Structure 1
Amino acid sequence: MDNNKSKNITWHQSGINKFDRQKQLGHKSVMIWFTGLSGSGKSTVANALQQELYKRGISVYLLDGDNLRHGLNNNLSFSAEDRKESVRRTAEVGKLLVDAGVVTLAALISPFEEDRRIARTLYEVNEFVEVYVKCTLQECEKRDPKGLYAKARKGEIRQFTGIDQPYEVPKNPEIIIDTDTLAVDESVEIIINFLFNKLRLMDI
């Protein structure tokens, strides 16, 4: 038990709820959580999806793991404990955005199954869509867009996922995108079809 938590805090109920906001915006709100190795294409696909949803008049926002480390998560390392906290903070911010009626995208490695499972519990049924951006370690190293794998292999970066820290493949993701073989637009189309045809995003 955290003894630093105040016992004098109560939840203040808003006069406007999530469904009021969704109705005003004209669509449901969900969290689309992209997970995968560094270099797998999470941010690239998420950003392309964001642009496509925006074109369709959807209120959307992208929470990118690297960008969050410039502000919200700038005091966190890449240890397993701090990665857990990074996922927790991102999920909590995402929950607020979903409550605001916004389709929210989160793109971060989030290597541990348990952390992703806990993130999911913050959301209601059908509000959390896990997208496993599948890509072999060999292909990710080949791409190495930020030069991080090369540094990790030289020992210049510690606790790097896929090299000296494990990545736990999602057990039951809603969507799997194999970026070894799929182009960005093909990946986006798969997610779009899921959102509009299975989740029926516009049925509000």
Structure 2
Amino acid sequence: MSKATNITWHDVSVKKNDRRAQNGHGSCVLWFTGLSGSGKSTIANAVSSELFKQGINEYVLDGDNIRHGLNRDLGFSEDDRTENIRRIGEVAKLFVDSGKIVTTAFISPFHNDRDEVRSLFEAGEFIEVFVDCPIETCEDRDPKQLYAKARRGEIKDFTGIDSPYEIPQNPEIVIQSQLLTVEEAVQQIFGYLREHFII
């Protein structure tokens, strides 16, 4: 619910489909979700790099990077996580409207939050990519030493340790990152994008 009053939506002269036609490809959000250390950011950036090489308009929204700026006022309570995802959903929608393929890498642990973001988009524009990786593997990788800190009690409400991760029920794509190379994961995603005529 908006707190603002006396505002009116202003229609723009250049529409989403105009930008898609000029670009020669569709636009969508690839919403990467999974535990910390599952490979979300690595795969999202690899997809973005390959899109760029092919001349496709793209952008990456990464969880940590967004918390350095737009969402630096948010912590990791359940309410703050929900607001974090809400804001990112709105930003992702702007990128899709601009004709880009935007990849987002956020743990986004709760069903309701992901469903709320999905509801912002037209059919086929929100592609949920579940990076499925056992927590044991994520802990073994632990590139930021976050699991170790959480186990020592230095980080509270850490997803997978003392805060839940709700596994996606019907994701468009499942990447089993402990079984695939990054290149294989990228090819799986590109296969989906081609099959659905986005690229």
**TM-score, structure 1 length as denominator?**
0.96
Counterpart residue type for residue 7 of structure 2: I
1:201 and 2:198 correspond = yes
Aligned pairs (5 A) from 1:11-160: 11-160=9-158
Q: Which amino acid in 2 is paired with 1:200? A: F
1:114 is displaced (CA, Å) by: 0.6
Stretches of structure 2 lacking an aligned partner (at least 5 in a row): none
Which amino acid in 1 is paired with 2:165? Y
For residues 146-185 of structure 1, what are the structure 2 equivalents within 5 Å?
A: 146-185=144-183
Deviation at residue 89 of structure 1 after TM alignment: 0.5
Structure 1 position 52, deviation (Å): 0.6
1:45-103 deviation line (CA, Å, top 9, x unaligned): 00000001111110000000010000001011011111101110001000001000010
Aligned AA (1:62): V
Report SS of the residue matched to 1:76.
coil
Number of corresponding residues: 199
Q: Which portions of structure 1, spanning 4 or more consecutive aligned residues, are displaced by more than 2 angstroms?
A: none
Q: How far apart, in 1, do the equivalents of 2:29 and 2:147 lie?
A: 29
- The AA in structure 2 aligned to 1:172 is N
User: By how many angstroms is 1:201 displaced?
Assistant: 1.5
SS at match of 1:129: strand
Deviations 1:116-164 (A, max 9, x none): 0000000000000000000001000000000000000000001100000
Q: Please, which runs of 5 or more residues in structure 1 have no aligned partner?
A: none
AA matched with 1:27: H
Q: SS at 2:65's partner residue?
A: helix
Letter in 1 for 2:103: L
Tell me how far 1:6 sits from its aligned partner: 2.8
Cα separation, 2, equivalents of 1:141 and 1:6: 44
Indicate the SS of the match to 2:109: coil
**TM-score for the superposition, normalised by structure 2:** 0.98
Q: CA deviation at 1:180?
A: 1.2
